[in-house]
Structure 1
């Protein structure tokens, strides 16, 4: 028997909840490992990556709060608040990355090699796109701007993972300490753009 529109919406809502729960769980682990490894290695890139994970937890929690509402009208009302929280987390991330990148470029901090950081970045580079694409697909079909915005923040973590992997790798193998902060500044620009989209409620647009 084919599913009705109501059944499909309920299925997608449950899917978004599960994906949000998985994102929160992974990001809590990621934050603990990154901040600990970053502190040991004096790596602003790793600490920044860990703080990004904390921001992603707050973003995912906002979406979970929205979808905990029992009726569609309440979810729509909560969505506006959730979008503001997601947008502000994008802006906060961009500000932190910009400040720390500037400090790194002027020589205020130089990180030691971190094998744990390299491993974490590699794992995140695989896990995050899967979570992001699944949530974005469900969010778009459901018509939830906040779920799509949160999926974009998860995808931003993929970019940060690639930047972190490249930065730590180039620093370890070639001694190019400037590579990570320069690439991170590009990510900060992406974060600002996505923050603006979330604030305007345009997250459901197709890229």
Structure 2
């Protein structure tokens, strides 16, 4: 098999030899970090979707659905590697992930357009602001910790997954900006605009998954 030449693969140079005990510790650390990321995303999804529904915020609901997709993606990957031949299941897993992203993009886009056309102004959401700010703090830590462990372990998948976690950080920042603008200045249009940004990111990620271009 030819070596991966993508730039991101350089972050995870394979290790040879070394302390097997240290490798076991690192592998366990990666599993714990992945479990923590999934657990946080479950809570994040429940809070975001609930708060977004109450405030009629398509951006907040979209953010929550993105968290659901991150959990679903992890479940698809877990299903892939639960079989005797993971390679045979890879395409199906990627298609499931891609379709989930596309569904998110369609839902958020429709709701955003309805809001822009006057279907209802989103209300300020204190819960949403707190959640976005908390995610902006938590996700970079989880991503950095997993990236460090993945690099030392020489795991391409762990490094790639850490980059996916960092995507949530960017979405948190965009969401926080939109919610704060609405709360402080009454700029309700900021909410659907932010939601459309989330939809655009979802389409990009869906296309990447469909083509199977995830790093390593």
Return the TM-score normalized by structure 2: 0.76
Structure 1's 203 and 76: CA in aligned 2 closer, same or farther, altered over 3 A?
Answer: same
Q: Secondary structure at the match of 1:203?
A: coil
Q: CA deviation at 1:116?
A: 1.0
**What is the aligned partner in structure 2 of residue 127 from structure 1?**
138
**What is the aligned partner in structure 2 of residue 186 from structure 1?**
197
Residue 17 of structure 1 contacts residue 64 of structure 1 at CA under 8 Å; is this kept in 2? no
2:18 aligned with 1:2: yes
**What is the aligned partner in structure 2 of residue 76 from structure 1?**
87
**What is the aligned partner in structure 1 of residue 155 from structure 2?**
142
**What is the aligned partner in structure 1 of residue 54 from structure 2?**
40
Q: CA deviation at 1:16?
A: 4.3
What do the CA deviations read for 1:97-141 (whole angstroms, capped 9, x no partner)?
A: 211211121121212221111000001112223334555673994
Q: Distance in 2 between matches of 1:190 and 1:42?
A: 21
Structure 1's 114 and 186: CA in aligned 2 closer, same or farther, altered over 3 A?
Answer: closer
Return the TM-score normalized by structure 1: 0.79
1:32-111 equivalence runs, <5 A: 32-68=46-82, 74-111=85-122
**Structure 2 gap ranges (5+):** 1-16
2:166 aligned with 1:155: yes
Residue 123 of structure 2 contacts residue 188 of structure 2 at CA under 8 Å; is this kept in 1? no
Q: Distance in 1 between matches of 2:27 and 2:90?
A: 13
Q: Distance in 1 between matches of 2:86 and 2:95?
A: 14
**Structure 1 gap ranges (5+):** none
**What is the aligned partner in structure 2 of residue 25 from structure 1?**
39
